[in-house]
Amino acid sequence: MKVAIQAVLWVVCAILSYQIYDSINGPISFNKTKNERYAEVINRLKVIRKAQIAHKDVKGFYADNFDSLVSFVETGIFTLIEKRDSSYLEYDRTYRIDMLREVVVVDTLGFVPVLDSLFKNDDTYKMMSQVPVEGVDSKFALKADIINKNGYRVPVFEVKVSKDVILHDQNQDLLKQENETISVDGVNGAEIVLGSMTEVSTNGNWPTIFDTKQP
C-alpha cells in the first residue's frame, strides 16, 4: 500500500511539474513562434506593397487581384521622366507687350521594365498571394477600389490575413489572448492588415520593430 501511494504521489508530482513548466514555457514558445511568423508575413506584405505602389504609379489605380498584380510585375513598364522649369515670351493682347510665361517641361528619358526595376533576380513576387506559414494553404485577402476623399477620387487597397491562420497550430487560449490584446509594441486586432479601404494609406498595422527585420 505504501509503495502504491508513493507511486501515485510521484505521478501527481510529475503532472504538477509539467503543468508549472508548461505555464511558464508555453507563453515563451508561443511568443517566439508568433514573432517569427509575423515577421515572415509582414515581409511578404511589403513585397505586395512594393508591387501595388508601382501598379498605381503606372496605371493610376491599385490591382484588385493577385493575378493582375503578378502579370503587371512581369509585363509593366516604368517611364523615366525628367521635369525642368522653363520660360518663354508670349505676346499679351491685353497689355500689348511680350509677357514672360513660366512652364514645366517634361522630358521622357527612357523605359524600364517593372520586373527589372523592383525584382531583379528575385521571383518572390510570384508567391505574393500565399501566406508564408508552413502547413498553411491560405491566401491573403486583397481588395482595391476608388473612393471619394475630401472631394477627390483616390485609389485605395487593403491586404489582410487572420492571426487564426498564421497561428493555426498554437495554443488556442494564448491565441485568443493575442487576438484581444492591445499593446503599443504589438500587432493589435485579430488580423495583420496592410493599407485601408477607407483611408489613403499604404501602412500596415504592425509596430516599427518589424520594419527593422526586413532583409
Q: pLDDT tens across 107-157, in order?
A: 777 889 999 999 988 898 999 999 999 988 999 999 999 999 989 999 999
Q: Give dist(CA 194, CA 41) in Å, integer.
A: 11
In the chain, domain spans: 36-74+121-213, 78-111
pLDDT of residue 43: 95
211 pLDDT higher than 80: yes
Across 86-110, average pLDDT = 80
Q: Which residues pair with 145 in a beta bridge?
A: 156
**Long-range pairs of 57-64 with CB within 8 A, sequence gap ≥ 24:** 58/114, 60/155, 61/144, 61/146, 61/155, 62/144, 62/155, 62/156, 62/157, 63/142, 63/144, 63/157, 64/142, 64/143, 64/144, 64/145, 64/157
Residue 181: Cβ within 10 Å count: 11
Q: What is the pTM of this model?
A: 0.79
| Amino acid, res. 70 | V
Q: pLDDT tens across 150-159, in order?
A: 899 999 999 9
* Among 46, 202, 44, 54, CA closest to 117: 54
Q: pLDDT tens across 35-62, in order?
A: 999 999 999 999 999 999 999 999 999 9
